[in-house]
Amino acid sequence: MVVKSNVRGRDLGGFVSDVRRAVSDTVKIPAGYFTTYGGQFENQARATRRLGVIVPLVLLLIAALLYASFGNLRHALLVMLNVPFALVGGIGALWLRGLNLNLSASVGFIALFGVAVLNGVVLLSYINQLRVAGRAVGDAVREGAEVRFRPVLMTALVASVGFIPMAVSTSAGAEVQRPLATVVIGGLVSSTLLTLLVLPTVYAWLEERHLLRATSVSTVPEIDAARAAAEATP
């Protein structure tokens, strides 16, 4: 026997969980019979399991490429801060529009992570170039944020404006397009703002601590040598 239903106004996974609970509580299945839940839910569950493997691998690959680009783990992890920045905006946009976190929204997060990390690389690379040229940390951070403001903003605008037709779509397939586009647009808004404000601040704080630690470590042998020379003097 096949029982079919269409789900509207809520997420598919939550609906199936409620159905399973209701069937378990109220239906007594005779021996030799069993129930399965298929259709779109089965496809979503299968794709979700795959995403559970793909997303961590994508994040690890991005981190490895960032480490190869910057040459140190500190800056690679700093750029990876854009991932939670993007998550905040994506989830907030879904909540504001009353949409559920489904498979298409999860795919949207993968695309969003790439653009968000790209903006971080654009900003941090230029700041590092200014540091190599001899600029102080504070000056490099301020100038880097000012100069890279337009490139970062243009990258975010091109990606987000291109998804607006999908976000407002009401035609066939809109239930797949809207969550994906909403995640990308909302995530780019939050990640762009936080990239231009929070990322330079955290960079300056980390670099000052790193310079302070390096200075203290380099001065310790000199102090020990001076103390030993003073003690050896009659």
Residue 186 lies in a domain: yes
Range of the domain at 211: 50-232
Residue 42 lies in a domain: no
Residue 36 lies in a domain: no
* Distance, first Cα to last Cα, the chain: 102
Q: What is the CATH number of the domain that holds 145?
A: 1.20.1640.10
Residue 23 lies in a domain: no
Which residues have a Cβ under 8 Å from the Cβ of 163 and sit 6 or more positions away? Answer: 180, 181, 184, 185
Residue 56 lies in a domain: yes
pLDDT tens-place string over residues 79-136:
888 888 888 888 888 888 888 777 788 888 888 888 888 888 888 888 888 888 888 8
Residue 119 lies in a domain: yes
Within 10 Å of residue 33's Cβ, how many Cβ atoms? Answer: 7
d(CA 17, CA 40): 14
Residue 75 lies in a domain: yes
CB 95 within 8 A of CB 190: no
State if pTM tops 0.85: no
**HSE (side-chain half, CA atoms, 13 Å) at 42:** 4
pLDDT tens-place string over residues 47-78:
778 878 888 888 888 888 888 888 888 888 88
Residue 228 lies in a domain: yes
Count up the domains in the chain and report the number: 1
Q: In 34-58, which positions are buried (b, 16+ CB within 10 angstroms) versus exposed (e)?
A: eeeeeeeeeebeebeeebeeeeeee
